[in-house]
Structure 1
């Protein structure tokens, strides 16, 4: 450790706190990985494996991905069964005194994923927790993307049933528990996350659940369990709070799994009956494919769940009779087909991962709730009539959001331009101040053209480099000595400039420093990375202080 540079000591400290995950370590415009993480990522992602300090006796393996394209790389690692810890720069590099401060801003695991690119629209994404007793097991299952949360208690020999029923992307088990060879074979190659054993204690589970739901006891939840099921649920909830930074407002309740009212189908039975997948390659001949005429993603997930767990009670089966004889209309089908996935939209919003377009989708679906209730209420099937009565009028929320958002909002908050003019007076005032930023750019371009005598000089901006000075190859010989080349194009080159940009009264004193992400008075229009980067776009921090 003594031989490591300050930045690598910082990396090691964060990595040691997250030993079982691949660490994405932000350095300028890249997420870098080092040591064994770099080797793993290079293999899974097909990256070029390079080395840091290549002339030393022990060069450090290194691989990186651009930060603006990181989500697709993270998705590939998650699908391959890896956890990813994202560590960002949490202070402006231009303001930092020495090493830039960094901290973990997000943890992504297969069982806690929220991003659309990590989830299947028509399948749940379950996290499963087991608490093993002497003869009984406690089971807790959650899909953080939809807000589902349930628990159960059963004989230990039913553990395989829960694994096959929910097909979890991730399992939580106590560190001290060692499975028998038979159970180890049942677990197979599933991703297992080990947690301290005390977190699975029933008393800890009761305290964790009570604190989350704001209850002194669990009677208000209708749970009549006191054993390992509470321990499993508490350990799962504690894990979710750590990963999602306590943002779980959409987990508003917990229910007991109704395993007694459904038939258990093992993997061989489901495969031979072709319930979810065809037995052979070729056309999809599965029962799910034949029956699935659902118009929404939540509906598709519900149908899949029903087919995985056939009912045993005839009365309950007959209550679903409207599915076999739908009284559907074109209007209802059209309303449902235009409904967005509210379960997952609200899940992302509750966990602090929602974006402007998510809000627009919530608004568009909310305003249709009145029509959906009206049309569904026309049916005579008892179950449909009951469901239509449960549809809440969300149109006030929808209209409020539509009145606030622009018609085509940006993908992220950082892009700005989310709210309509006139929605908020203070925001309108700030936007008027933003116009001075455009005047700043025009003034800078004019002054630099006059100073250098280069008529083709342009001031530009992009999200990777920030503000830059672009000069065509025709005038390359006129480039002054204080310009620093940062990027070569086909017919031009882009530069940053150190020192004063102009004399007294010049609109700004630097192009290409850490403040270049915005012009004076500008809103949050882009990342403040500037042009303080090397030729490959990486920041000076990546050269190690």
Structure 2
């Protein structure tokens, strides 16, 4: 007998059709529910109870759920287990809804697309990759949405394999029909997401890039002569929009990865040298052994330097000059270390801010980080060996000024749990706060005014 669908399940199935390969978290009242195969997977990963909706009826289906306020606890577990998770929220107040509540996917979280601190490893990059090829020409695009770093390359499969190994993407996009060949060429130790072939078309890729960068020409990105890299970059931007990350403003340019200047090591060298990961369960990698960095940004840079060592003598000497300066001056080195520990993860905080995913407490951390940037620049002033690194610093004066003036000293994580905007920023807000905290005095003032105007004393 055919399964009878309730209006709620009809709505669920319509949403699920758009995200067939994702585990769908469907908001129902105060809970996120999963149904059918998704419920079975969620119950296993999250260790929650698996039950049934409409038990014994024609509409019977597996069900597993958790309270909506526990999303930040359960979502990372699903993503870390390799699942793509579509979060479907209620888009209107249920009390005001006419008929069934309007719902829609507000975010698709995948291993390669995440802003959540519980999903990300603070000390490593989190790249999403896309690979496309035709005959012997291979194109690669890499994006870390948490920092905005976007890069492309085109070349033989040996180069692309080395680049993939160097950047260790947590998710790789490729054509559905090419997935088996991808595993044959690049190995099976990657989380591969398969995409439709119409996405990997040159004209569509050009359209995606022009929309993102608001640029009529792609020559500045050196993609006009690298069609495979262009298509791979377009696939990533399509995936972003599908995941509700439409036109992220912090993704502002595309780097070109080249063979010159850096040594791109193959998979066997990286594995045998145990640069980033040990070959033994209780072993220690080189990165873990020497990492004494004071900030997450420093840890990520150190791992890039280890896995992509310089080959140009001039660049090596510039780096060694900076190392020699800091090694020679213990006081300067100690001051830098103290500032780096206080700076925090400016890269990822700035990305959260530009996408509207930052909370008030993180804005306070951003303010502290920007204050440290100014102190770092002042400390390094006049040191020729540090000039190449100082050139990359931006004080963001106007942003810092607003944060210092408009944000309270210690804001809460949740804006509903305390004061966020400082006094004096908005006269209207100050008046509303005064009414809230001095309600009786306000009522007494109104009463006195009315008595004076009407002469009625009671």
TM-score, scaled to structure 2: 0.88
Cα distance between partner residues in 1 of 2:30 and 2:439: 24
Spell out, residue by residue over 1:358-411, the C-alpha distance to the aligned partner (whole angstroms, 9 max, x if none).
211111111232221010124342xx1232244233344223212211222121
Name the structure 2 match of 1:336.
Answer: 340
Name the structure 1 match of 2:445.
Answer: none
SS of 1:298's partner is helix
Q: Return the index of the structure with the highest Cα Rg.
A: 1
TM-score, scaled to structure 1: 0.75
Name the structure 2 match of 1:481.
Answer: none
* 1:321-332 equivalent positions in 2, closer than 5 A: 321-322=320-321, 324-327=323-326, 328-332=332-336
Cα distance between partner residues in 1 of 2:440 and 2:89: 30
Q: Which moved more, 1:396-405 or 1:331-340?
A: 396-405
* 1:129-278 equivalent positions in 2, closer than 5 A: 129-177=130-178, 179-180=180-181, 183-184=183-184, 186-223=186-223, 225-278=225-278
Name the structure 2 match of 1:420.
Answer: 422
SS of 1:397's partner is helix
Q: Which moved more, 1:253-262 or 1:104-113?
A: 253-262
Q: Quickly say closer, same or farther: Cα 1:57–1:392, change in 2 above 3 A.
A: closer
Which structure is higher in RCO with an 8 Å CA cutoff and minimum separation 6? 1
Q: Quickly say closer, same or farther: Cα 1:157–1:397, change in 2 above 3 A.
A: closer
SS of 2:343's partner is coil
Cα distance between partner residues in 2 of 1:275 and 1:7: 51
SS of 2:350's partner is helix
Q: Quickly say closer, same or farther: Cα 1:276–1:176, change in 2 above 3 A.
A: closer
Q: Which moved more, 1:289-298 or 1:26-35?
A: 289-298
List gaps (5 residues or longer) in structure 1: 440-545
Alignment match of 1:392 (pick from 373, 381, 394): 394
Q: Quickly say closer, same or farther: Cα 1:183–1:242, change in 2 above 3 A.
A: closer
Q: Quickly say closer, same or farther: Cα 1:130–1:222, change in 2 above 3 A.
A: closer
1:189, distance to aligned residue in structure 2 (A): 4.5
* 8 Å contact kept, 2:223–2:230: no
* 8 Å contact kept, 1:244–1:351: no
1:163, distance to aligned residue in structure 2 (A): 2.7
1:138, distance to aligned residue in structure 2 (A): 0.9
Q: Quickly say closer, same or farther: Cα 1:179–1:391, change in 2 above 3 A.
A: same
* 1:423-434 equivalent positions in 2, closer than 5 A: 423-434=425-436
Is 1:350 aligned with 2:351?
Answer: no
Name the structure 2 match of 1:121.
Answer: 122
Higher helix share: 2
Name the structure 1 match of 2:449.
Answer: none
Is 1:25 aligned with 2:26?
Answer: yes
Q: Which moved more, 1:171-180 or 1:46-55?
A: 171-180
Cα distance between partner residues in 2 of 1:272 and 1:176: 32
1:115, distance to aligned residue in structure 2 (A): 0.9
Cα distance between partner residues in 2 of 1:291 and 1:380: 26
* 1:352-501 equivalent positions in 2, closer than 5 A: 352-381=356-385, 384-415=386-417, 417-434=419-436
* 8 Å contact kept, 1:366–1:398: yes
1:306, distance to aligned residue in structure 2 (A): 1.2
Name the structure 2 match of 1:65.
Answer: 66
Cα distance between partner residues in 2 of 1:229 and 1:416: 48
1:92, distance to aligned residue in structure 2 (A): 1.4
Spell out, residue by residue over 1:390-446, the C-alpha distance to the aligned partner (whole angstroms, 9 max, x if none).
42333442232122112221213444521122221122233345459899xxxxxxx
Cα distance between partner residues in 1 of 2:296 and 2:115: 15
Report the number of matched residues. Answer: 435
* 8 Å contact kept, 2:163–2:264: no
1:137, distance to aligned residue in structure 2 (A): 0.8
* 8 Å contact kept, 1:38–1:49: yes
Name the structure 2 match of 1:534.
Answer: none
Q: Which moved more, 1:122-131 or 1:243-252?
A: 243-252
* 1:272-351 equivalent positions in 2, closer than 5 A: 272-282=272-282, 284=284, 286-322=285-321, 324-327=323-326, 328-351=332-355
